[in-house]
Chains A and B, each alone.
Chain A
Amino acid sequence: EVQLLESGGGLVQPGGSLRLSCAASGLTFSNFVMYWVRQSPGKGLEWVSAISESGDRTAYTDSVKGRFTISRDNSKNMQYLQMNSLRADDTAVYYCATIGVRSGRSDYWGQGILVTVSS
């Protein structure tokens, strides 16, 4: 069974930093592009960042460019999201995911982790 388990969320003050982790099991992690998707309270889903299978390519939505950094460690089946200069509008549930929109296979999501940015 595939499991994606996020950790590292919590309450942080505006301007602060937080590092999210995602532990993957039950899949050949190094074969998958990995994503972070977030959902602000009562709002829709928003793609945040993506990282290629080997980690050599990354992409970000415009609102987090220069503040967030995605990374992965294939030897540990882990991906990370380093979030700096956090703002109130970064408050959201953050999901770790693989996306199977094209293939119909391998669409897996974690349970989500809440990040609250507030003073």
Chain B
Amino acid sequence: AIQMTQSPSSLSASVGDRVTITCRASQGIRNDLGWYQQKPGKAPKLLISAASSLQSGVPSRFSGSGSGTDFTLTISSLQPEDFATYYCLQDHTDLTFGGGTTVEI
């Protein structure tokens, strides 16, 4: 099974900061990766598909990059509503989620 290693597991940042979260796949997954945001008590919301495609309605401060085994989610200027947990998800073979990154403002 493909393993997804996500880091950091948590981070503390201030409004306006640039935040970067990474995911590393245990084998190449092309760009079959998405980034989700989850807030407490809610279902996950897809932010980025195909590693770098911003979903409709998602603020442009979110961006994704990478291909193969190494991927990055960047929030260019953190906003208070970005307090949440973020997960990467590969669907190259079955599904594997990263362990999650909790962003604390």
Please report A residues at the B interface, Cβ cutoff 8 Å: 35, 37, 44-47, 50, 59, 61-62, 95, 97, 99-104, 107, 109-112
Given contacts A45-B36, A45-B97, A97-B43, 16 further A-B contacts (CB under 8 A): A45-B38, A45-B100, A46-B97, A50-B95, A99-B34, A99-B91, A100-B34, A100-B46, A100-B49, A101-B34, A101-B91, A104-B49, A104-B50, A104-B53, A107-B34, A111-B43
**Chain B: CB-nearest residue to A110:** B43
| CB-defined A-B contacts under 8 Å, sample of 8 | A44-B97, A99-B34, A99-B91, A104-B46, A104-B50, A104-B53, A104-B55, A112-B43
B44 at interface by CB-CB < 8 Å: yes
Known contacts being A37-B95, A44-B97, A59-B94, is A101 close to B49, with CB within 8 Å? yes
A62 contact set on B, CB distance < 8 A? 1
Of B44, B50, B87, B100, the contact of A102 (CB 8 Å cutoff): B50
B20 at interface by CB-CB < 8 Å: no
A103 to chain B, nearest CB (A): 7
| Residues B99 and A95 in contact, CB atoms below 8 Å apart | no
| Residues B91 and A102 in contact, CB atoms below 8 Å apart | yes
A113 to chain B, nearest CB (A): 11
Please report B residues at the A interface, Cβ cutoff 8 Å: 1, 32-34, 36, 38, 43-44, 46, 49-50, 53, 55, 87, 89-91, 94-100
Across the A-B interface, how many residue pairs have beta carbons closer than 8 Å? Answer: 63
A95 contact set on B, CB distance < 8 A? 43
A68 to chain B, nearest CB (A): 14
A100 contact set on B, CB distance < 8 A? 34, 46, 49
Known contacts being A101-B49, A107-B49, A110-B43, is A44 close to B99, with CB within 8 Å? yes
How many Å lie between the Cα of A112 and that of B38 in the bound state? 13
Interface centre among B33, B94, B98, B99 (most CB of A within 10 A): B94
| Residues A45 and B50 in contact, CB atoms below 8 Å apart | no
Of B44, B55, B90, the contact of A45 (CB 8 Å cutoff): B44
B46 contact set on A, CB distance < 8 A? 100-101, 104, 107
